[in-house]
Structure 1
Amino acid sequence: MSEHSSEHTHKKGPSRSQLLLAASVLVALVIVVTFVLSKQNEQKQENAKFSQDVVKQQQQTSQQINTAQSKQEEPEQDSAPEPVEQPPQAQRNEEPLDVRTATPEAPELPPLDSSDEAVKQSVAQMMSEKALALLVSDDMVRRGVVFVDNLAKGKVAQKHMPVKKPQEPFMALEGDIVVTDPNSFERYTPYVDMLSSMSTAQIVRLFDKFKPLISQAYEEIGYDGDDFNLTLDKAITELLNTPIPESNIPLIKDSVTYRYAYPEWEQLSEAQKQFLRMGPENMKKVKQRLEALQKSLNK
């Protein structure tokens, strides 16, 4: 298991190679989910725009003009008829309405290479300073895209973690049976709380805003930008397919590392074994959120 890789025994600090973050897996899923949901959000916005069409205003103008014309068709009189004054509403509608003014232009995005400041400013509007401090703030778009791409394959891209690692090391309780110390699960609670505190609408707006940069970053690693949607769904499924243990999973101490005692747990993908590090309660919260998001995605 990832719990065992390069983890020191007897509550010693883990080696560097073993500090893979399940938390970063979770944060990357935010990117996964919201990028796909943003596509649905775009559809909703398009429908809203259609409902605001100016056809009704044009109909009002037409009716008022017809009313004025009907007065002009009265039988001719010896003296010239007095001019008919149009109602103020009809006069206001005489000028053609420019539909383009109904939708404001989207703000221009910075180049991908210099997008970090814009991303940080947008994220800061929906996170507390404490939560914001958990994020790695350089090359944020590329980090998220590469991490999600690896996650969809069951891997953890250590050099592209979108969040900082927990300061507390992994700990194991060694007795007749070696198990994970429940206190180790608490290392990931702040990351789970960060996800739970963000509404779906906030996430959708954020990733809809930076969608062109996300597609560009995905193309840089050799894919079609539009294919990122499929990658998002695979990454979500990868975590949802991770079983939640009903009790402590026995570990086997192997020199200075640990591995799962049961083959069915040890054979899980690297990403899934990192997800297990969060502990059952945190996993349940994350899965509940992801299931709801994926359900909306597949409608």
Structure 2
Amino acid sequence: MDSNGDENGAMVKLERGALWGWGLVVLVAAVLAGAGVWHGLLHGTPHTPATPSTEGPPVAARAPDTPPLPSSAQMDALLRSRLAGASSRSEFGAWLREPDLLRRVVAVVANMASGESPRSVVAFLAPRGDFRVRTHDGRSVISKGTYTRYDTLGLVVASLDSTLLVDTYREVRKLAEQLHQESAPPGSSFDSTLERAFAQVLAVPVLDGEVEVMPRGALYVYADPALEALTPAQKHLLRMGPANLRHIQGKVREISLKLNQQAARP
């Protein structure tokens, strides 16, 4: 907090390990969401809770008719081949060079569905710079300049070709379900977990005005109890700022429309 109360503000940490990878979350939405998932999200179909995991999942017994998973290298090669043209931005191409793409995606979805941050799974997307606040009329508010740390994520998300990504989904959905079942409780499906993950994204409020925070120990928390009551996943997404949040939520809605249009075709 700026002890002098000027409008330039002071550099502070909001919390250790703030938002590290929500651009990948929207990639999940586009690549893996099924029409049934989005129908359930939009119409309130009940779901079965899933257990999140950021650790390497244990080896689970396969059903007799379930083929073995391809290697991580083979799954990575498939996604890179199919998604190479999904965005013209170089940052997206760099993300696709990371290993274990599909396994990371499944873990991110599980974390999001439970309201937890997936930062340890996508640490390569850590933003540069520090969270900043400034004082205004005796209050500590988030400096709007701090949101620019996430502009790259927001711009990549906005650039994604949703048609290509939705088409790619059909090739990897079964693989994602197999990976999900390695650590999911009995009866849980990847679709139901994904539904809960995107409900978390769409429930985040877009805040265009000043957002007040207050110190709590070494960290800052939201002064508004309703904002502070959001899940860790939602609060991290909120800290990307209104413009980037609109990019993400807009892309989610765009994809849901395409998927529901496909589901309605005879």
Q: Distance in 2 between matches of 1:211 and 1:162?
A: 24
66, 70, 83: which one aligns with 1:123: 83
Match in the other structure for 1:51: none
Task: Tell me the equivalent position of 1:101.
Answer: none
Local SS of the residue matching 2:207: coil
Matched, 1:289 2:251: yes
Kept in 2, the 8 Å contact 1:135–1:162? The answer is no
CA contact (8 A) 1:131 1:190 kept: no
Conserved 8 A contact 2:69-2:178: no
Aligned counterpart, 1:66: none
In structure 2, what is the equivalent of residue 19 of structure 1?
Answer: 18
In 2, distance between residues paired with 1:27 and 1:222?
Answer: 21
Quote how far apart the aligned CAs of 1:228 are.
1.3
The CA deviation at 1:219 is 1.3
Q: In structure 2, what is the Cα distance between the partners aligned to 1:240 and 1:199? A: 20
2:126 to 157, 162, 165: 165
- Please, which of 26, 30, 33 is the counterpart of residue 29 of structure 1? 26
CA distance in 1, matches of 2:199, 2:29: 11
CA distance in 2, matches of 1:143, 1:124: 18
Paired residues in the alignment total 220
What pairs with 1:43-192 in structure 2 (closer than 5 Å)?
111-114=70-73, 115-127=75-87, 128-134=89-95, 137-161=98-122, 164-175=125-136, 176-192=138-154
Distance 1:132 1:169, change over 3 A: farther
- Deviations along 1:120-142, one digit per CA (max 9) or x if unpaired, are 34333333323322457021111
Match of 1:273 in 2: 235
- Contact kept, 8 Å, 2:163 with 2:258, in 1: the verdict is no
| TM-fit CA distance, 1:257 | 1.3
| Structure 1 residue 296 displacement after superposition | 4.5
- TM-score norm. by structure 1 comes to 0.64
Map 1:176-215; keep pairs closer than 5 Å. 176-215=138-177
Residue 264 of structure 1 corresponds to: 226
Q: Distance in 2 between matches of 1:20 and 1:201?
A: 27
Query: 5+ unaligned residues in a row in structure 2: which ranges?
Result: 1-8, 38-67
Contact 2:22 2:237 survives alignment (8 Å) = yes
The residue aligned with 1:10 is 10
Provide the secondary structure at the position in 2 that maps to 1:133. helix
**Is residue 181–residue 189 contact of structure 2 (8 Å, CA) maintained in 1?**
no
Displacement of 1:33 in angstroms is: 4.1
| TM-score between both structures, scaled by the size of structure 2 | 0.72
Which stretches in structure 1 are left out of the alignment for 5+ residues?
1-8, 41-108
Q: Give, in whole Å, the separation in 1 of the partners of 2:229 and 2:14.
A: 21
Q: In proportion to residue count, which structure has more helix?
A: 1
Q: What is the deviation of 1:195?
A: 1.6
CA contact (8 A) 2:19 2:237 kept: no
Task: Specify the alignment match of 1:252 in structure 2.
Answer: 214
SS at match of 1:178: strand
Task: Specify the alignment match of 1:230 in structure 2.
Answer: 192
Distance in structure 2 (CA, Å) of the matches to 1:151 and 1:288: 18
Contact 1:172 1:178 survives alignment (8 Å) = yes
Counterpart-to-counterpart distance in 2, 1:32 and 1:224: 24
Pick the structure with greater CA Rg.
1
1:110 offset after TM fit, Å?
Answer: 7.8
Distance change (3 Å), C-alpha of 1:118 and 1:225: farther
Relative to structure 1, the CA distance from residue 285 to residue 32 in structure 2 (aligned partners, 3 Å threshold; closer, same or farther) is closer
Return the alpha-carbon distance in structure 1 between the equivalents of residues 105 and 176 of structure 2.
9
Contact 1:35 1:211 in 2 (8 A): yes
